[in-house]
Amino acid sequence: MVFLSMSANPYDKDNMPKIDLKKELKALYNPPRKPVLVEAPSTSYLMIDGLGDPAISKEYAESVEALFPLAYTLKFMIKKRQGFDYGVMPLEGLWWADDLAHFMDDRSKWQWTSMIMQPEQVTPELVREAMEQVEKKKSPPALSKVRFEQLDEGLAAQVMHVGPFSEEGPTVDKLHAFIDENGYTMSGKHHEIYLNDVRKAAPGKDENGHQAAGCQARLNSRAILQVRRRLEDARQVYNTSL
């Protein structure tokens, strides 16, 4: 669980602490460019599920348009009521398909979950209240699809990718090779974390003017992202098969 324990006067703005969750969780949000193993804690997220190619999906765009206003509303509610501030976390995504063998062949069948991590001070009651506020002010179409849920990944492998989204493939291949070489098998869904601000990036194009690929089509092509995969220990299986 990600818990921020603070004691502060909510009316003393000069001394109000501000927490950088990415620094607090440095191992999870600032990995090296070579694959590493991490233990991901059980963490709460605002989530929206969808289906289809995010490069052209209105549903995917609407999920981002709903998640960020809600995340910022929660941030300011906690700042006012509990006396501390924190930075809104980056957009993350889970990706999968029923037929992984042909995952890249038909993006219209991609399934995804857009999500933003929340500190433990965010409760279901606060989420419901924040949703009511966002509904009154902005009424984003996908707001009613938001759910507040725990993600339990546990042992995982992850790696940082910096560069065009169209060149993410070799980074992912390197991560998968690392998993296999260390005697693990993949479990769960492909997890990406977009460490730049998706709302400030040029939509749909990379620095060469080409259409960006995959779920990063709405991001700047020089965006920094990391890839995480949940693992199962397969070493006993390997030993048995020898």
Residue spans of the domains in the chain: they are: 22-241
- The answer to whether 205 and 240 are in contact (CB under 8 A) is no
| Higher pLDDT, residue 1 or 48 | 48
- CATH 3.20.80.10 applies to domain 22-241: yes
- Whether the pLDDT of residue 211 is over 70: the answer is no
Separation between Cα atoms, residue 65 and residue 199, nearest integer Å:
9
State the pLDDT at residue 145.
Answer: 98
C-alpha dist (Å) from residue 16 to 11, 97, 235, 240: 8, 45, 49, 57
Confidence of residue 195 (pLDDT cuts 50, 70, 90): confident
Whole-number Å distance between alpha carbons of 198 and 64 = 9
Averaged pLDDT score across all residues of the chain: 78
Q: Could you report the per-residue pLDDT of 146-158, keeping only the tens digit for each?
A: 999 999 988 999 9
Buried b / exposed e along 127-140 (16+ C-beta atoms within 10 A):
beebbeebeeeeeb
Q: How many Å apart are CA 195 and CA 198, to the nearest integer?
A: 9
d(CA 127, CA 131): 6
Percentage of residues of the chain with pLDDT beyond 70? 72
Find, among 211, 230, 190, the residue nearest to 92 by Cα: 190
* pLDDT tier at 164, thresholds 50, 70, 90: confident
Highest mean predicted confidence (pLDDT) among 168-172, 207-211, 233-237: 168-172
pLDDT tens readout for residues 116-138: 999 989 999 999 999 999 999 99
Return the higher-pLDDT residue of 228 and 199. 228
Take residue 14 and report the two structure tokens written for it: 């000069």
Q: What is the DSSP letter of 27?
A: H
Of the candidate ranges 61-65, 196-200, 212-216, the one whose mean pLDDT is the lowest: 212-216
pLDDT digits (tens, 9 = 90+) for 34-93: 899 988 899 999 999 999 988 889 999 999 999 999 999 999 999 999 888 999 999 999
So what's the pLDDT on residue 102? 64
Q: Which candidate, 69, 50, 60, places its Cα nearest to that of 140?
A: 69
pTM: 0.79
Residue 14 clears pLDDT 50, i.e. is over it:
yes
User: Which pLDDT belongs to residue 135?
Assistant: 97
Query: How does pLDDT run across 84-117, given as a tens digit for each residue?
Result: 899 999 999 998 888 766 666 777 888 999 999 9
Confidence of residue 15 (pLDDT cuts 50, 70, 90): low
pLDDT band at 220 (very low <50, low <70, confident <90, very high): very low
Residue 78: partners with Cβ closer than 8 Å, 6 or more residues away: 84, 85, 86, 119, 121, 122, 126
The whole-number pLDDT of residue 27 equals 87
Q: How far apart are CA 195 and CA 91, in angstroms?
A: 8
